[in-house]
Structure 1
Amino acid sequence: MFSYRHAFHAGNHADVLKHMVLIATLDHMLEKETALTVVDTHAGAGLYRLDGDYAGTSGEAAEGVLRLVTDPKAPPAPAPAPATTAAAKKAAKEAEAPLADALARYLEVIHDFNAKGGARVYPGSPFIVQHLLRDHDRLKLFELHPTDSRTLTANIAQLEAGRQIAVLHEDGFGSATKFLPPPSRRALVLMDPSYELKTDYGRVLDFAAEALKRFATGTYAVWYPIIPRPEAHDLPRRLKTLATKAGKSSLNVTLTVKSSKITTAPSGETRRPGLPASGMFLINPPYTLKPLLEAALPQLVQKLGQDRNAGFTVEAAG
């Protein structure tokens, strides 16, 4: 039950998508002066070293955030060869285009944690949220993994944030609804379990349904993997049905970076692709989010795509 550690996956393409969407959502919600409560049902350790043992072992950040940042200690990249085909010229033009606002804002936040450049430190959702919140906002963090919960508590303690942040060593799916609705009646709830257990898919739906009953005007954000598993493909469809029945708007965005096919090497070794794609599903999303992501996701595909299967979708309803 406790084998999953997000430290192995910190800064990968799924984190880039999740945190870009999270930042864009928060930026809009924080435009109102009224206090905001953010609930993170699966907070993880909160802060990660990409040059540490965990992230270094998996190397996933190399295909994610590290493709997007510039390391001042890295040797300069060689000058690109002149574009000779229409496709090459199009790719070169896209590479030279200014960054879309949502992507530029994501990289700005990453830079705030890496003043010397690069991305040796990667902030998880708890630190990204705390970095953006104002003094009168509140953050509720749930983490059940015993090691990650201790690390999260120690990391958060360094912020000296006092009562602004509560760290709870509890099952977020079982306990987080106790904070809904918050006194200010404004909240963002982030659900991003590991989906290591198949039951996580059903628990996301059950939690979202209960949360909407308690607090129908809250904003709910669900990260999910796109993998060859029926539950993974059913989840966004069932979340859309849930939102529609509740009379709420929704937004589903996906980012695919490579094929999901299992291949066989010349040696006969089976090669599994790892996580090829992921999505973010939001109920009651900010109206500003869809155009921001429609501008940013093509750039993410261009920068993070690993083969011709790379792509994105943006689907709004309600």
Structure 2
Amino acid sequence: MNYRHSFHAGNFADVLKHAILARILQHLNGKPTPYRVIDTHAGAGRYDLGADDALRTHEWKDGIARLDRSPLAPEVEALLAPDRDTIAAIRAEHGAAAYPGSPWFCRHALRPFDRLIAAELHPQTHAKLAEALARDGRGKALAIDGWTALRANVPPKERRGLVLIDPPFEEKDEFETLAQQFIAAHRKWPTGIYMLWYPIKDSRAVSTLIDEVQEAGIARLLRLEIDVDRPAAAGGLSATGLLIANPPWRLAEEAQTLLPALTERLAQGQRPRYLCEAIRPDG
């Protein structure tokens, strides 16, 4: 599977990923000590939903456009507030068709003493990322392989923060690589928060990922998934997931409120589903 950010910006998978990312950043901001975010496969940082790539798929119409349609229940909107604030900020700065990637979410949330490392290997995409983070001393765009960036930057000197691993799944063994690289990084920095994104095309690959992580002895995991029941005839992705290690306190409770509402709003078929599973929460 090839998952290029620019073709899928603002789709249902982004809606889930960014809603949870914004919650994690809020929790990190809840303590006065500095933190660092390491975004291993950062993409361009900012996207134009009116550009050719986005218009080829129109996936944002069944993603962020549905979230824009009308407010959800008050308790859901309270949890979505950081997400919506970030999107409103980038639209105010770059126009109504602008959509933030994960580095822009991080940039918006960082305090003056927090830091972001964002890695992107593709030259043209890295140039866009560097532009998105320009003139902001808190963030650095690295033109290196994401797995190299991960190995080189954990543990961060702050000893607190988040690693976001969101690979493009261009290689057939990407799930295996994801498991190996995450496990190795966790051994070096077992107290960090890790958020792994994955597409659900092959349920066996996802199960193997979860099994390998558990067999490595990694405890305190939160597994979040939504399946919007996209019709097979439409092609494309129907389900996506996040595996979070060392989730902040109450994130699982927040997800139990967010996921049902997001799944209902983003559903494309009659049988959407969501999963919110704490694995070894007291490990």
TM-score, length of structure 1 as denominator length: 0.82
Distance 2:95 2:267 in 1: 20
Which of 201, 205, 221 is the aligned partner of 1:250? 221
Shift of 1:226: 0.7
Listed as ranges, the gaps of 5+ residues in structure 1 are 72-94, 263-270
Cross-structure match for 1:63: 62
Distance 2:93 2:194 in 1: 34
Distance 1:102 1:191 in 2: 23
1:161 aligns with 2:136: yes
Please identify which structure carries the higher helix content: 2
Distance 2:193 2:133 in 1: 24
> Is contact 1:99–1:299 with CA below 8 Å preserved after alignment?
no
Cross-structure match for 2:122: 145
Shift of 1:301: 1.5
The 5 Å alignment of 1:101-140 reads: 101-115=78-92, 119-140=96-117
Distance 1:204 1:119, change over 3 A: farther
Cross-structure match for 2:51: 52
Percent identity of paired positions between Structure 1 and Structure 2: 37
Cross-structure match for 1:206: 180
Shift of 1:201: 1.0
Distance 1:186 1:223 in 2: 20
Cross-structure match for 1:18: 17
Distance 1:40 1:283 in 2: 15
2:237 aligned counterpart, secondary structure = coil
RMSD: 2.3
> Is contact 2:35–2:160 with CA below 8 Å preserved after alignment?
yes
TM-score, length of structure 2 as denominator length: 0.91
Distance 2:87 2:260 in 1: 20
1:41 aligns with 2:24: no
Cross-structure match for 1:9: 8
Shift of 1:99: 5.0
> Is contact 1:24–1:289 with CA below 8 Å preserved after alignment?
yes
1:284 aligns with 2:259: no
Listed as ranges, the gaps of 5+ residues in structure 2 are none
Cross-structure match for 1:91: none
> Is contact 1:69–1:119 with CA below 8 Å preserved after alignment?
no
- Alignment: residue pair count: 279
Question: Which string of whole-angstrom CA distances, capped at 9 and with x for unpartnered residues, describes residues 106-127 of structure 1?
Answer: 2232122223999511000000
The 5 Å alignment of 1:92-107 reads: 97-100=73-76, 101-107=78-84
Question: Which string of whole-angstrom CA distances, capped at 9 and with x for unpartnered residues, describes residues 120-148 of structure 1?
Answer: 11000000001000111110011111221
* One-letter amino acid matched to 1:7: S
Shift of 1:234: 2.4
1:215 aligns with 2:192: no
Shift of 1:63: 0.3
* One-letter amino acid matched to 2:7: F
* One-letter amino acid matched to 1:255: I
Cross-structure match for 1:29: 28
> Is contact 2:34–2:114 with CA below 8 Å preserved after alignment?
yes
Shift of 1:252: 0.2
Larger Rg: 1
1:188 aligns with 2:181: no
